Structure 1
């Protein structure tokens, strides 16, 4: 039984490592696509317009940074670090 449990544990570990590797690869691919899309938008002179950004800016100006970051993330789907940096620029 101990050998079977060890084998199952090892199989699960190998599966997790493989899955993590695939997730990392997909994330890198998505990042490359996003950078290319940004270049295309810049080349065409276009920018993304998100709704409620005036509310985010108002919260940032009022010193309500946490609320501004939360709303920025809701509106854009950005991660915490990206949202914090964007809100810092607005405030």
Structure 2
């Protein structure tokens, strides 16, 4: 009986800790997103463009060769971006290249 009680208490405590940490992580993510948006607005207001990472010529060449997946992989390797962010960036770059 005593062991079952301790086990239930341990599981309950683990659940509480997990939910508390998850809430804190979500809160920090919201703060980081807000900070990124504010920084982007500030850079736009000041007319400052973020410098292009070295190696983007490789990404452009892959796009011109119609090798989108390889371009996304190269973009991720160069910038450290996630898959969704890299796909959006490569798609936007492809549109810009088609206009030129």
**Equivalent in the alignment of 1:38:** 40
Q: Offset at 1:24?
A: 0.5
Moved over 6 A (4+): none
Could you report, residue by residue, the CA deviation over 1:55-88 in whole angstroms, capped at 9, with x for unpaired residues?
1122122222222212212322322111111112
Q: What is the RMSD computed on CA atoms of the aligned residues?
A: 1.4
Could you tell me which runs of 5 or more consecutive residues in structure 2 were left unpaired when the two chains were aligned.
Answer: 95-100
> TM-score, structure 2 length as denominator?
0.80
**Equivalent in the alignment of 1:13:** 15
SS at match of 2:84: helix
Does the 8 A contact of 1:61 with 1:90 survive in 2? no
Could you report, residue by residue, the CA deviation over 1:17-64 in whole angstroms, capped at 9, with x for unpaired residues?
100100000011011111111111111211112111121122122222
